[in-house]
Amino acid sequence: MNRKPFICGNWKMYKNRTQTIDFIKKLCSETLDLKDRDILIAPVYLYLDAALALTENTAVLICAQDVYFRPEGAYTGEISPVQLRDIGCTHTLIGHSERRKYFFETDEIVNLKTRSALWASLMPIVCIGETREERQEERTFDVLSRSLKNAFHMIERDQAENVTVAYEPVWAIGTGLTATPEIAQEAHNFIRKTLAELYGREFADKTRILYGGSVKPGNIKGLMSMEDIDGVLVGGASLSYEDFMKIIRFDCV
């Protein structure tokens, strides 16, 4: 199945305005020739406007790092999917392991956010993954199945086609540990089979599944050689322009 590779950089709570602008200007100018893959950056909320202005009519997409599940209301500090669409965002991360760990987001909240994003015509990148303890207890597939089915609860197939799934083993995020390509492939294959159970094989074959977990230039080739890995969600390495460009320019087609 010819799924277009998807390279996503999540900047978390890093980079000021000047650093954001400088990085994205260079990225846009040096990726004009890359028509065969999607490239996405998720900067902090404060600089979304600036990033969106710089990427207009370029190959680079801009993504929010999170979204709330109400279109408006008295929810101090939150950002609605309607507001994100209003400024031109096309994508949002949902359910990142750090949101689950530090802000106690549950599968149910992830589902509400996913449905809300789709309602507002935002394309969600829904993150799922197991902790080190869950892997050691051989519960990885149980966790992935539960999280995936809960995330897609009450979402019709035509809406679900706008969702990208990101597998991020929690034990490999910011720890220096990385799932081997074979370990990642096993999880991705299971996710695709679960999607087939939910929506059919044709749907599953079209859905892009990203790997996220200490992705670096040194392991991108191995990861992208796997049949069911369609791209990567890059954390720390996306902050370095040189490293991120090495990851982006991997010839994965």
Residues designated as active site: 96, 168
Element at 191 (helix H, strand E): helix 181-199
Interatomic CA distance for residues 70 and 47, integer angstroms: 22
**Of 188, 177, 169, 237, residue with least CA distance to 1:** 188
Element at 165 (helix H, strand E): strand 164-167
Say if strands 91-94 and 6-10 run parallel, antiparallel, or are unpaired.
Answer: unpaired
Question: Which residues are within 8 A (CB) of 177 and not within 5 positions of it... i.e. 6 or more apart?
Answer: 171, 213, 214
**Cα 65 from chain centroid (whole Å):** 9
In this structure, are residues 45 and 67 in contact, taking their beta carbons and an 8 Å threshold?
A: no
3-state DSSP assignment of residue 105: coil
Phi, psi of 115 (to 5 degrees): -65, -40
